[in-house]
Amino acid sequence: MGTSQEDRPFTKVKGWAATEGRWSFEGATAHYLTPERPDYAVGTVHTDIRGTDLTVRLGITFKTIPDSPLPENGITAGVLLGIGGTERRDVVLGLGGWGGAYSLSQFKAGTGYVPLVSSGRLANLNPTQRYEVEVIQRGQMLALSVDEVMVIEKVLPEPLGGNQLGLRAWGTESIDFSDVQARQTRPSLFVAMQFSEPYDTLYKEVIERKGKEAGFDVVRIDDVKRPGIIFQDIQQAISEATAILAEISPANNNVSYELGYAHALRKPTILLARRGQELPFDIRSYRVIFYDDTIGGKTGLEETLEKHLASVLREIH
């Protein structure tokens, strides 16, 4: 998936907090035992790992697989991402669910969990077999691999609501979640701007440097060197980004497209413009950082940009 990220070591889960169902824990392994009541066959547990842009690895083993593929009689075992936040938009990505072998669900206020993707046949999952599961989240891009085979890849319509990692189970039979571990990669800042002077210098001397100092991988589409269709590269880079920074001083169709796509995904967005610049009508209602193209203006922009980037990071850590 997407742009290169700085690898960090995986951290095993050390702390568990069961919020639904009955569980037992041994180190980095969680055992879902039974639901608290038969008419609500749900198990949920939160972990001590927080953050976004996570890669999560674990083994999942079902004791039994039900014959019925119906959701109310089925079984689910998945990674729970995005717990917390003021707007609940957590997701469950894993095995089983909605009658399929693999599924992605998202919580919707007033409705509960709704399926975004369901694929494969539940009957193809085998009881007592340990499945090696990997879940990757980069911005709003989610991917699920089972035994090193990619089975789901999906762009969420909006960012996750929170940043805590958990597990979720559905069913009346026990499920083992083994060796649960996660690695957080550096969040990505996608930069949309015109490719010419003085904007190239602004990018190199201010935006890229301050972004990296804040803890971001900074990506401008001309930095992405891979074969493929350019618009697909743009969409993927924006989908995987934690935040977008757009320099909107000159009228530029490419920048407008990239900014519009980011707004459609409800990405946190930082807008820059040279002071005195007349902004397009549909941008005037947004908060814009205006800067002067002088040495003093550069210093002021650095300080303001640093505060905005720190604010974005506070939301995800």
Check whether domain 11-184 has CATH 2.60.120.560, yes or no: yes
The whole-model pTM stands at 0.90
Architecture of domain 188-316: 3-Layer(aba) Sandwich (3.40)
Boundaries of CATH 2.60.120.560 in the chain? 11-184
Q: What is the pLDDT of residues 294-303, one digit of tens each?
A: 766 788 899 9
- Pairs from 127-131 (Cβ < 8 Å, separation ≥ 24): 127/62, 127/63, 127/64, 127/65, 128/61, 128/62, 128/63, 129/61, 129/62, 130/59, 130/60, 130/61, 130/176, 130/178, 131/59, 131/60, 131/61, 131/95
DSSP 61-117: EES---S--SGGG--EEEEEEEE-SSS---EEEEEE-TTSSEEEEEEETTTEEEEEE
pLDDT at residue 227 greater than cutoff 60: no
Which residues pair with residue 310 across a beta bridge? none
Which residues pair with residue 175 across a beta bridge? 32, 62
- Over residues 131-157, the mean pLDDT reads 97
Q: What is the pLDDT of residues 97-131, one digit of tens each?
A: 888 999 999 999 889 999 999 999 998 999 999 99
Instruction: Write down the pLDDT at residue 282.
Output: 63
Q: What is the pLDDT of residues 12-26, one digit of tens each?
A: 999 999 999 999 999
Instruction: Write down the pLDDT at residue 39.
Output: 82
- Over residues 52-80, the mean pLDDT reads 85
pLDDT at residue 145 greater than cutoff 80: yes
Boundaries of CATH 3.40.50.450 in the chain? 188-316
